[in-house]
């Protein structure tokens, strides 16, 4: 991978905060949250210290993946408003340092998880790092508009790793949590791409709005939403979720579908012109419906996993226990 000449060099020495940003802490927080949910929902007695070490390893593994991603994607990150301030394209951290950090953290997290939990969890973590860093970042992202559909598997695996760390197994309910995140990813990121498509086009990333157009993307968002929401309700009937989860998943899912329908009926992604601001929720005229779905998708996924986590911590019965 040849580093783009657009990547700048900074004369100032890197700060520790720059290395923290290499780990994508916002993404890492979601990884930690879903991994904890998987570990707790497994229902096994886990030594709190060893459980904490397992979550730490999963978080470090996610950070390693992010460092690999920032190293390899520095050229396209430099061309996008949303990512050009990242440590490598801005020149705050050298690409070689980001790569070295990714390698060291990968080896450290996988080996420590294997030695303190079990090698099934460690193997799943190693696969997740490889899938995100190599399969998604180095191949899918630049070659197909289905990049985030297939690549979304990496972001969906943390609850399975957490479950495996607790029980040395990965049963159907663990993979059900994975499937929920997997189907959540397309409508979430395609909603974002509808109002940032100019950035992706400039960087040469074949996101769906760039290759297939906004209308096709809006249709795909609706289709995936119709698959995603019913799946979110399923844990209430597999012994995983209780009545509170059933209510949250059903009511929140209804709101999700309404927002997806509004995106489908809108002209999101087609309007041109200046955006209102420079943030992640920066919206072009006509794309507010896509912004609203993007924002609510984060809230909905958080509520789903938070409800499952609370029910298991409080010992609330699953729906099946009432029959």
Assess contact for 63 and 22: CB atoms under 8 A: yes
Assess contact for 157 and 178: CB atoms under 8 A: yes
Average pLDDT estimate for 213-239: 96
Q: Name the band, by pLDDT with cuts 50, 70 and 90, for residue 311.
A: very high
**Residues above pLDDT 70, as percent of the chain:** 90
Average pLDDT estimate for 82-105: 93
Q: How many Å apart are CA 203 and CA 6, to the nearest integer? A: 11
Average pLDDT estimate for 275-282: 50
pLDDT in tens, 112-169: 999 999 999 999 999 999 999 999 999 999 999 999 999 999 999 999 999 999 999 9
The 10 Å CB-count burial string (b at 16+, else e) for 84-116 is bebbbbbbbbbbebbbebbeebbeebbebbbeb
Average pLDDT estimate for 73-99: 91
pTM of the model: 0.91
Q: Specify the residue for token string 């707790």.
A: 40
Q: Which of 50, 11, 56 is nearest to 31 (CA)?
A: 56
pLDDT in tens, 164-181: 999 999 999 999 999 999
**The predicted structure's pLDDT at residue 318:** 87
């Amino acid at each position: 991978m040849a580093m783009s000449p657009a990547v700048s060099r900074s004369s100032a020495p890197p700060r520790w905060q720059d290395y923290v940003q290499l780990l994508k802490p916002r993404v890492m927080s979601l990884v930690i949250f879903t991994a904890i949910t998987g570990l707790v929902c497994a229902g096994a007695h886990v030594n709190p210290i060893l459980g904490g070490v397992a979550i730490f390893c999963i978080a470090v593994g996610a950070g390693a993946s992010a460092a690999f991603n920032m190293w390899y994607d520095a050229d396209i990150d430099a061309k996008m408003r949303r990512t050009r301030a990242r440590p490598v394209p801005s020149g705050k951290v050298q690409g070689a340092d980001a790569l070295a950090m990714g390698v060291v953290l990968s080896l450290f997290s996988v080996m420590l998880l294997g030695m303190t939990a079990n090698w099934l969890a460690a193997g799943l973590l190693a696969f997740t790092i490889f899938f995100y860093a190599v399969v998604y970042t180095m191949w899918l992202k630049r070659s197909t508009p289905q990049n985030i559909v297939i690549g979304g598997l990496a972001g969906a695996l943390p609850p399975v790793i957490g479950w495996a760390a607790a029980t040395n197994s990965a049963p159907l309910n663990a993979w059900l949590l994975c499937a929920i995140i997997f189907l959540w990813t397309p409508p979430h990121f395609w909603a974002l791409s509808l109002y940032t498509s100019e950035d992706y086009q400039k960087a040469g990333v074949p996101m769906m709005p760039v290759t297939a157009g906004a209308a096709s993307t809006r249709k795909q968002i609706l289709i995936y939403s119709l698959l995603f929401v019913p799946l979110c309700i399923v844990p209430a009937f597999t012994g995983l979720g209780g009545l509170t989860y059933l209510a949250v998943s059903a009511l929140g899912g209804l709101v999700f579908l309404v927002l997806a329908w509004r995106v489908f009926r809108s002209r999101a992604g087609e309007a041109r012109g200046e955006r209102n601001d420079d943030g992640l929720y920066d919206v072009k005229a006509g794309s507010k419906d896509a912004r609203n779905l993007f924002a609510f998708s984060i809230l909905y996924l958080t509520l789903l996993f938070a409800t499952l986590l609370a029910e298991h911590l409080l010992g609330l019965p699953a729906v099946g226990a009432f029959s």
